[in-house]
Structure 1
Amino acid sequence: MIRYVGYRAASWTTFRISRMLSNSFAVFKCGLSVQSAQLTDDRDTYIHPSINEFDSRKYAQILKGCTSLNDPNKGKSLHCNIIKKGNCLDLFAWNILLNMYVKSELISDAQRLFDVMFERNTITYVTLIQGYMQSFQCVEAFQLFIRLHREGHELNPFVFTSILKLFVSMEFAELCLRVHACVLKLGHDSNPFVGTALIDAYSISGNVDDAREVFDGIHEKDMVSWSGMIACYSDNGYFEEALELFCCMRRMGLKPNNFTFDSSLKACVGLGSARIGKCIHGCALKSQFELDPYVSTALLDLYTKCENFSDALKIFKETPQKDVILWSFMISRYSQSGRSEEAADLFNQMRKAFVVPNQFTLASVLQACATMECIKLGEQTHCHVLKVGLDTDVFVSNALMDVYAKCQRTVDSENIFFNSAQRNDVTWNTMIVGYAQWGNGEEALRLFLRMIDAQVKPTQVTYSGVLRACASLAALKPGTQIHGLIRKTVFDRDTIVGNGLIDMYAKCGSIKEARLVFDTMDKLDAVSWNSMMSAYSLHGSGEDALKLFVKMKEKKVQPNKITFVGVLSACSNTGLVDKGWSYFKSMYTDYGIKPCIEHYTCMVWLLGRSGQLNEAVKFIDEIPFEPSVMVWRALLGACVVHNNIELGRVTAERVLQMDPHDDATHVLLSNMYAVAKNWDGVTSTRKNMKRKGVKKEPGLSWVESQGKVHCFGVGDASHPDLRLIYGILEWLNVKIKKAGYVADRNIVLLDVEDGEKDRLLWVHSERLALAFALVSIPRGSAIRIIKNLRICADCHAAIKLISRVVQREIVVRDINRFHHFENGNQFCLKFADFFFLPNFSRLQTFRFVSRTGGLVIWRSGSSIVLLGECPTSFLVCNQRSKHNPGFS
């Protein structure tokens, strides 16, 4: 207990205050007395000067010194000494003591001190409000402001500035309006400090017009006011207005500070204007602010965003103090811009400069490794991560997963995922996208369900990845369910998610749904148009793809390289050689796009499929760089179509020089020899395959029934419903023969009897899958079959007739595109289907004329060819003898 010496002589007021202090500071005595006892003698000399009589002002000065020295222990010791002696500070000293606790982040002590103060003023309240704000106790700070107002204390500009900063941090836009009304009533609206605080508050809430009104009402605008308004414009996307205000400030002769330059450069970044940014850079050089951390960072942001890395690197090297944040920023920008090697080199320089990388640095370096698909550098960085103990950081672990995923290291990526202590949405997204990239769509869907069960909110990337998985599996039902889930979220109108939906529906065989998504999207970018054009090409609707390209140009959407790949593919599907040439030439002349290998491949395919093999060879010779294996494969495919064995043999040799283990090329060459009855060539090709260890990829077909995927191979005898499947096939064989089916035995490239050829045709994988689907998928539902190779001409003709017999919609997706059959009609007839015709070489010189009804008209000299929807023979009409057409 504190002893009160001579308290009888003291006044009643002094006794009451001392008594109150002895009770109220009991909590302080427990903690502070121990700290006071531990202080050294020299500290006591500093804290307890020889003061014969208690002087509150002198104690206040000593407490100020404790605050400036950031030494709360001395302040606590002095506070304890005051309590023990029973002395009482005046309000000025109390506020200084309260400020010391606030600045030392001892908010609980500050709150207890505030509660026992018998007198408080505005400064007392504002000091504690600032303490609450520093410790993010926003609710307590707001309640204290209400108490300040109710107790009738003075509301001066300092109060309004502090409380407005509080509301900005709490994002209380409505309360800012009320405070503004109070400011207007008290006449503080012209104060530059209050005005700037209001501008900041309105900027955070997006009320730019109100902020400008406040700015215009400030009588004496200082640099802080100008900088605040420019920052308001810049932060809310009003980039032109920000630069206009900056120019207005310069015309008035005001000198911008570092924050002004920072906001103005951000506006240049928003506009993507490196030219204006360089002008502001020059102004910063004259004002000697170019080395300021804020200005230099803004300049680096500008130049890296504008792909001017030479100037960015120059500024970076001239910056005197490069901390880990600046290094991380530069490495991150190099990685994001695809300059992965430069990012890795910069990381090495950082290590040589003895700057310790943090988790963001390592995440950026790992991003560069993932982009380069450099597993060696990724593993080295992983070792460094383990050494510094950052392997548990969620940003670093996500980046490591991405590296291993991009480098096809499935097991390593899974190990990191399942061993991660912390998982955010990026963690789940990385793994889902990784599974989709590996072609493991089923695992991607399973992981998506686990993510939902874990109550992790899917993001834009999540939906894009899982839709990609559905597209790879042609899983329409799960894709439709995910679309229903998307409709309930904010991503329903998102462009990237919409593009994923178009791709998913197209690859699942539902072109109508893909077009519906396309038509209902709020914003279409180049990817949206490209996805829809690719969808039409995938479904054999080349004409619709070309119409969409015309509409794209009408909407002033700039096409890119991928756009022209889709356009040239559409021309190839429809046999529009002249139009294909026109689009190919317009790429560079009209749009400045240099053709790449994909465009040259499309042109070779277009020329070759139209029978212009010599022109295709000449075109290859004129390619300005070394043709890739894709180009030669396209020419080889055309040679197979037109049965040009000699050119096909030479082309196949070129392909096998580049890729000796290409099984498809060996098979094509063998088939060409078989068509020409060159069985020695067939034997030689197969011996070469055996010698190299090359095996032909088996033809497989998949069909989904009741949530389970069933796989069938050629002549498959392993399915549990085998007898039922073959029974259905026999029944279908009888039915379609009555409908006019004739087996195309030329498809079977084996030297066997005709009966054996017929049997081999009926055990193709797609027919087995179709027979199973007919008995397992309910009537009224479409049958969707996926095949890993191209569907043969005989199966194409047979399935068309089967769709009429069973009255079902059948969709077959092969390696090239979709084939739609319904009620004996085919909706995939395009230029490519004419290559199924026997003796197709006789059509090499024919040109497309028009389409009418169910017929497609072709011309060759004086002859006209009429082709049905899926012909197995064709009619040649001689114009000179219209009344007696000949048949072929």
Structure 2
Amino acid sequence: MCLTKCLKNVYTWNAIVSGCVKGGNLEDAQNLFVKMPERNSVSWNTMISALVRSGLDKKALSLYCRMNSEGFESTHFTFASVLSACGNLLFVEHGRCCHGLVIKVGIDCNKYVENAVVGMYAKCGCMGEAVRAFDRMSQPNEVSFTSMIGGLAQTDHVDEALRIGEGGEQRGSYENFEFPSYRYGQQVHGLAGKFGFEGDIHVGNSLIDMYAKHGNMKTAEMVFANLPEVNVCSWNVLIAGYGQEGQSDKALELLQRMQSHGFEPDEVTYVSMLGACVKSGDIETGREMFDRIESPIVSAWNAILSGYSQKGQHEEAVDFFRNMQFQNVRPDRTTLASILSSCAGMGILKIGKQVHAASTKEALHLDIFVASGLVDMYSKCGTLETATCIFERMPERDIVCWNSMIAGLASHSLSSEALALFKQMRGGGMVPTQFSYASILSSCSTLASLCHGRQIHAQVVKDGYTSDVFVGSALIDMYSKCGDVDRARLFFDGMHEKNVVSWNEMIHGYAQNGCGDKAVEIFEDMIRLGEKPDGITFIAVLTACSHSGLVDVGMKILDSMEQEHMVQPSAEHYTCVLDLLGRAGHFRQAEVLIGKMPCKDDPILWEVLLSGCRLHNNVNLGRRAAEQLFRLDPHNPAPYLLLANMYSSLGRWDDSSAIRTLMCDKGVIKNPGYSLIENQSEGCSG
């Protein structure tokens, strides 16, 4: 049955048309719009605004005329789109007629319409009418200020541009005001100098802010230095600029200069300072600045909270959030998203549930930003069912939500479900990011599905992510785990930029596929090219040595870790080397190594050694290894089975039976096993 026969009512039609528009499929949206058996104002508004956003302004106006002729009532959304189209086309007379209709139907005070009216007149160069419309606005915002400054700067109305800029500060929109572009800001700066307004404190502050926001701190400092007088706001915008650049030392130096000149820092100063400290990673100094604020606003709390979360100081983040609640400061979406990130990082479900309850209390649990955090938190805390429930109930989803859900499924080895969800996401018009591709390639790796992996690779190429190091590393991993290590190497060699993760994946890929010599060769290339190996690098190359029997090479690499690369060997590294020695039957070296290891009580080390003993039927050392495991990991069936099988292979049936009896007496149960293979006969669909 075709799609059009399945859609039951106008609301369903509207939802599908809107989905096509959001996904960038304008042609499909237009075709569906034409086929709609009935339409309402929402239907028309969706198509008109989509055409305007796509630059098809004439088509939008034509559709608007059809809407009127068919008797549909225009809403503020309609007028906002139509006025924008008139401005883009410079159809000022059409725009004036539309403005008249707006006044007639009584929605001229709607903020979207007000902004559209100002923007239309400004684009058409009718600055007198733009200024009058702007002056009638009850609450101008950054959109209206941006339109006005842009239009005035382009038409050389410097006096009005400066008045608007000053008005932005006086009317409370200064914080959000910014010039429509850096170039326009420079034009206003030139005009201010030409007409002698450069020394005006309000103009100067606006210019400092503009240069600072674009990272040009040298010019911002110059404007500041040339002002005949400055105020606290002047210092604040300069401090905030250095904060944005993450230069906390310069921001701190400015704070000291500010105080030495007799200016008393206010709350904005300290908020800017703590933002600078957090961005540069100096959370401790940021916390000092926070403690100086008498009554911190929620953005100040958020800055410290996000700083703790980003640095992985999750316990401090939780304590800070609890203190925030104790002080009766209401959290906003940023607060909740930050603390949820820390809950996910800690993997503590109890605290995550408390934050969920707080978000519900504040009616923010369905906010797209917060809901994404909840999905991520529940996924990482092992409660995938709740994560799925939240995801499915979200009224709208952005790419972050989809990524969180796909990553959650992938991390729980629900790879087929992750692939299905990825396909659903793409079918809805959502464009994947590098994080989407990394997660879904991980699922292909888990399934060892080369068919799906190649399809995803083709989409990566189409979406332009082949040069992304994150995605590239995931592709190397996918091809390696699917057994196509030559394709993995081909992609690796073609990467324009590599990082330690890329090198690690290629070394590990060779290790997985039994190509020890090539893994060591890549490792040596990595060292020669100056890339610093990390602990994971050594696990990969030592694993390769183990699987290929490269005993001397492996021992040499182990010795080089601390001596040449300043990497402390961990239990995992020793496990790899014990596996290497055990496979090769070098048990005397293995015993010497165990004697030197600082982590003798790690059961995995003894299990690996026992496996090597089983391979070579070294009963004496095998029994000692098994006895260590009986003590360290009493419920693990592996040592009982390995030792029993070793005895059986040597014909020592009584000893084998005794071990199995001991296993039963202690209530140790063998875990059932299973295998997973891709059904090649079924193929795979896009």
Common fold by TM > 0.5 = yes
The answer to whether the Cα contact below 8 Å between 1:575 and 1:606 also exists between their aligned partners in 2 is yes
Question: Contact 1:667/1:696 (CA < 8 Å) preserved in 2?
Answer: no
Aligned with residue 700 of structure 1, among 658, 663, 675: 675
Partner residue, 2:368: 394
Aligned pair partner of 2:467 in 493, 498, 518: 493
- Which residue among 587, 592, 604 is the counterpart of 1:630? 604
Kindly provide the amino acid, as one letter, of the partner of residue 603 in structure 1: V
Q: Are residues 404 and 276 of structure 1, via their aligned partners in 2, closer, same or farther at CA, if it must alter by over 3 Å?
A: same
State the AA in 1 paired with 2:416.
E
Give the Å deviation of 1:442: 0.6
Contact 2:441 2:478 in 1 (8 A): yes
Using a 3 Å threshold, how does the CA distance of structure 1 residues 662 and 106 change in structure 2: closer, same or farther? closer
Distance 1:509 1:520 in 2: 19
Aligned-CA RMSD value: 4.3
Cα deviation, 1:122-166, whole Å, max 9, x if unaligned, reads 7764353477793576699579959996xxxx8334337859999
Cα separation, 2, equivalents of 1:451 and 1:196: 53
Cα deviation, residue 496, structure 1: 0.9
Q: Aligned partner of 2:158: which letter?
A: N
Q: Matched residues in 2 for 1:243 and 1:224: separation?
A: 15
Query: Where does residue 551 of structure 1 map in the other structure?
Result: 525
Contact between 1:398 and 1:426, CA under 8 Å: does it hold in 2? Answer: yes
Q: Number of residue pairs matched?
A: 560
Q: Of the candidates 232, 242, 245, which is equivalent to residue 264 of structure 1?
A: 242
Provide the C-alpha distance between the structure 2 equivalents of 1:385 and 1:501, rounded to a whole number of angstroms. Answer: 37
1:134 maps to 2:140:
yes
Shift in CA distance, 353/547, structure 1 to aligned 2, threshold 3 Å: same
* Shift in alpha-carbon separation, 1:509–1:171, aligned structure 2, 3 A: farther
Structure 1's 301 and 533: CA in aligned 2 closer, same or farther, altered over 3 A?
farther
What is the distance in 1 between the residues matched to 2:573 and 2:494? Answer: 31
The one-letter amino acid paired with 2:157 is L
Do structure 1's residue 233 and structure 2's residue 215 form an aligned pair? yes
Q: Does residue 470 of structure 1 match 2:444?
A: yes
C-alpha contact 1:620 1:627 (8 A) present in aligned 2? no
2:152·2:158 contact (CA, 8 Å) conserved in 1? Answer: no
Distance 2:593 2:467 in 1: 44
State the Cα distance separating 1:405 from its structure 2 match: 1.1
| Equivalent residues of 2:198, 2:204 under 8 A apart | no
Q: 1:494 to 1:191 in 2, by over 3 A?
A: farther
From the superposition, tell whether residues 410 and 108 of structure 1 become closer, same or farther in structure 2 (CA, over 3 Å): closer
More strand by share: 1
Aligned equivalents of 1:247, 1:142: Cα separation in 2: 26
CA contact (8 A) 2:581 2:590 kept: yes
CA contact (8 A) 1:160 1:194 kept: no
2:241 aligned partner, one-letter code: S
1:155 to 148, 154, 157: 157
Instruction: Please say if 1:520 is aligned against 2:497.
Output: no
**Are 1:449 and 2:423 matched, yes or no?**
yes
- Tell me the equivalent position of 2:292: 318
- Are 1:309 and 2:268 matched, yes or no? no
2: distance between equivalents of 1:642 and 1:405?
Answer: 43
Distance (whole Å) between structure 1 residues aligned to residue 623 and residue 527 of structure 2: 42
Deviations 1:566-617 (A, max 9, x none): 2222333343444333333333333332222222222322333333323323
What SS does the aligned partner of 1:493 have?
A: coil
**Pair 1:147–1:388, CA change in 2 (3 A):** closer
Structure 1: gaps spanning 5 or more residues: 1-100, 116-120, 198-220, 235-241, 710-888
What is the aligned partner in structure 2 of residue 43 from structure 1?
Answer: none
Contact kept in structure 2, 1:335 and 1:367, CA below 8 Å:
yes
Distance 1:247 1:136 in 2: 26
Aligned twin of 1:834: none
Q: Which of 297, 303, 308 is matched with 2:271 structurally?
A: 297
The CA distance in 2 between the partners of 1:591 and 1:400, in whole Å, is 40
* Misfit runs of 4+, over 6 Å: 101-113, 121-124, 130-133, 136-140, 163-166, 194-197, 247-256
Q: Which residue matches 2:41?
A: none
Q: What is the SS of the residue equivalent to 2:677? A: strand
- Distance in 2, matches of 1:353 and 1:493, equals 48
Rounded Cα–Cα distance in structure 1 between residues aligned with 2:381 and 2:372 = 14
Question: What pairs with 1:597-636 in structure 2 (closer than 5 Å)?
Answer: 597-625=571-599, 627-636=601-610
Aligned position for 1:335: 309
Say which of 346, 370, 374 aligns to 2:344: 370
Change (3 A) 1:103 1:407: same
Residue 483 in structure 1 maps to residue 465 in structure 2: no
Paired residue secondary structure (1:408)? coil
Which structure's relative contact order is higher, taking Cα pairs within 8 Å and 6+ residues apart? 2
Q: Structure 1 residue 349: deviation in Å?
A: 0.7
The code of the aligned residue for 2:239 comes to: F
Aligned residue identity for 1:697 = P
Match of 2:627 in 1: 653
Unaligned runs of 5+ in 2: 1-105, 121-125
How do 1:158-307 residues align onto structure 2 when only pairs under 5 Å count? 158-159=160-161, 176=184, 180=187, 190-191=194-195, 225=207, 228-233=210-215, 242=217, 246=221, 257-269=235-247, 279-280=253-254, 282-283=256-257, 286=260, 291-307=265-281
Of 477, 483, 501, 1:503 maps to 477
In structure 1, C-alpha distance between the alignment counterparts of 2:536 and 2:453, rounded to whole Å? 25
The range that moved more, 503-512 or 622-631, is 622-631
Against the structure 1 CA distance between its residues 337 and 318, is the aligned structure 2 distance closer, same or farther, given a 3 Å change threshold? same
How much does 1:304 deviate? 3.4
CA change 1:147–1:571 in 2 (3 A) is closer
Cα deviation, 1:544-576, whole Å, max 9, x if unaligned, reads: 122212222233222222112222223333434
Letter matched to residue 259 of structure 1: V
* Aligned partners of 1:632 and 1:654 also within 8 Å: yes
Q: Aligned equivalents of 2:112 and 2:284: distance in 1?
A: 49
Measure the CA separation in 2 of the matches of 1:600 and 1:417. Answer: 42
CA–CA distance in structure 2, aligned partners of residues 146 and 247 of structure 1: 25
Q: 1:134 aligns to what SS in structure 2?
A: coil
Contact 1:261–1:284 under 8 Å retained in 2? no
Once the two structures are superposed, residues 722-766 of structure 1 have per-residue CA deviations (whole angstroms, 9 ceiling, x without a partner) of xxxxxxxxxxxxxxxxxxxxxxxxxxxxxxxxxxxxxxxxxxxxx
Higher relative helix content: 2
Pairwise CA distance, 1:624: 2.9
Paired AA for residue 409 in structure 1: T
Deviation for aligned residue 1:536: 1.1
In 1: Cα distance, 2:226 partner to 2:140 partner: 39
| Cα pair distance change 1:402/1:226, threshold 3 Å | closer
Verify: 1:685 aligned to 2:656, yes or no: no
Write out per-residue CA displacement over residues 172-229 of structure 1, whole angstroms, 9 at most, x where no aligned residue. Answer: 688x49x95x998xx76645768999xxxxxxxxxxxxxxxxxxxxxxx957655644
Matched to 1:694, the amino acid is: I
> How big is the shift at 1:706?
2.7
Equivalent residues of 2:281, 2:307 under 8 A apart: no
Q: Aligned-pair distance for 1:364?
A: 1.8
Q: Retained in 1: the 8 A contact 2:344–2:381? A: yes
Match of 2:556 in 1: 582
Following the alignment from structure 1 to structure 2, what is the Cα–Cα distance between the partners of residues 404 and 379? Answer: 9
What SS is found at the alignment partner of 1:702?
Answer: coil
CA contact (8 A) 1:231 1:264 kept: no
Q: What secondary structure sits across from 1:422 in the alignment?
A: coil
Tell which structure's C-alpha radius of gyration is larger: 1
